[in-house]
Amino acid sequence: MNKLEQPPVIPAYQSGVSPESGVASVERRAFGLPGVPAVLVWIVLAGLTLWMLAAEQFVVGVILGVLTFFGLLGFFIVQPNQASLLTLFGRYVGTERRNGFYWTNPFTVRKRISLRIRNFNSERLKVNDQMGNPIEIAAVIVWRVVDTARAVFDVEDYMAFVAIQAETGLRHLASQYPYDNYDEAGTSLRGNPDEVAEALVSELGTRLRHAGVEILEARLSHLAYSPEIAGAMLQRQQASAIIAARTQIVQGAVGMVQMALQQLSEQKIVELDEERKAQMVSNLLVVLTSERGTQPIVNAGSLY
């Protein structure tokens, strides 16, 4: 192997490497004793300290007093849907997720991490869609911390990391789809909100797994053309709607004319030559497809 070529580094969460030798941190359970029995032991220790001091056993009393003081620092409380991350002299020793009252090594430093579900509403971003049209887009993201070790040790600030990566992922998603598909083929931001939401969840999940964050839901909260092209795109949408409506009207009119000619022929109400059929078809199409009400001219004479 060339000296300049280095083998790829496999993250710890993919290779199963221990946190001490790998890149990514791995959460593990911390050591913690139930708080109520520990309180009883602390009360007994405090009583012995006072008894020794009263008996003028100052050396033993001072030692017990120091132990009593440091023992008091080991108590901590974990609220529901919160975790307490413990470090000892700069070394990660574990995370306590069970809510309640506990006692642990008094020299550990405890940091509270919320495990509750959070909402993040991104700012309105101005990006270009797949067709190059400038659009405004925003999203609501529902997330929570699932790995406290990664959230604290693998990123500088996991909340800021979520905000920045959400913006980056939203920009990348908007560039992968057009705002609208006028030929009704393919996925678009406006026409397929569920598919776009699933793609956004997958995109953000890949980006935020390094921070121990799980994306529960992500949906677009705002989607519009930029003001500089909104008028032109509105005219295009109106034209498409008019064409679609006219197409349906013409199809219905042709069917009605065909039905009228067929019934006249089957019931032998009147015999029409090809020229009169063409004139009748023209008149019926004008009446059926006209935007305004037509004024018929009644022929009181002969048929021709």
Most confident of 26-30, 38-42, 161-165, 253-257: 161-165
pLDDT attached to residue 151:
93
pLDDT greater than 80 at residue 200? yes
| 63-67, 127-131, 149-153, 180-184: least confident range | 180-184
d(CA 291, CA 250): 12
| 36-50, 110-124, 288-302: least confident range | 288-302
Average pLDDT across the chain, whole number: 79
pLDDT attached to residue 19:
41
Most confident of 171-175, 252-256, 275-279, 282-286: 171-175
Q: Report residue 174 as tokens.
A: 């908007």
- C-alpha distances (whole Å) from 11 to each of 24, 27, 103, 197 are 6, 15, 33, 28
Task: Fill in the DSSP letter of residue 132.
Answer: S
Going by C-alpha positions, the residue among 174, 164, 188, 176 that lies closest to residue 126 is: 174
**3-class state of residue 191 by DSSP:** coil
φ, ψ at 87 (rounded to 5°): -130, 145
Q: At a CB cut-off of 8 Å and minimum separation 6, what does 150 contact?
A: 13, 24, 25, 26, 27, 210, 211, 212
Provide the β-strand partners of residue 220: 139
Mean pLDDT of 281-301: 62
- Please check whether residue 128 is in contact with residue 188, taking contact to mean a CB–CB distance below 8 angstroms: no
Mean pLDDT of 43-48: 86
**3-class state of residue 158 by DSSP:** helix
Give the model's confidence band at 86: pLDDT under 50 very low, under 70 low, under 90 confident, else very high: very high
Mean pLDDT of 219-223: 90
pLDDT attached to residue 49:
82
pLDDT attached to residue 7:
38
pLDDT attached to residue 187:
82
Q: What is the pTM of this model?
A: 0.66
d(CA 134, CA 112): 43
pLDDT attached to residue 4:
38
Give the model's confidence band at 299: pLDDT under 50 very low, under 70 low, under 90 confident, else very high: low
Selected residue with higher pLDDT from 132 and 83: 83
d(CA 36, CA 57): 29
Going by C-alpha positions, the residue among 235, 255, 249, 195 that lies closest to residue 219 is: 195
Mean pLDDT of 170-187: 81
d(CA 133, CA 265): 55
Query: Mutual orientation of helices 158-174 and 193-208 as an angle, nearest 10°?
Result: 140
Give the model's confidence band at 17: pLDDT under 50 very low, under 70 low, under 90 confident, else very high: very low
Mean pLDDT of 76-81: 92
Please spell the DSSP secondary structure of 230-268, one letter per residue: HHHHHHHHHHHHHHHHHHHHHHHHHHHHHHHHHHHHHHT
Q: What is the pLDDT of residues 225-279, one digit of tens each?
A: 877 755 566 666 666 666 666 677 777 777 877 777 777 777 766 666 677 767 7
d(CA 173, CA 167): 10
Tracing tokens 């067929």 back to the chain, one arrives at: 262
Please spell the DSSP secondary structure of 73-118, one letter per residue: TTEEEE-TTEEEEEEETTEEEEEE-S-EEEE--TT-EEEEEE-S-E
pLDDT greater than 50 at residue 48? yes
Mean pLDDT of 48-68: 81
Q: Report residue 145 as tokens.
A: 């911390």
pLDDT attached to residue 16:
35
pLDDT attached to residue 230:
54
| 92-106, 126-140, 153-167: least confident range | 126-140
d(CA 155, CA 158): 6
φ, ψ at 67 (rounded to 5°): -65, -40
- Please check whether residue 32 is in contact with residue 103, taking contact to mean a CB–CB distance below 8 angstroms: yes
Mean pLDDT of 122-144: 89
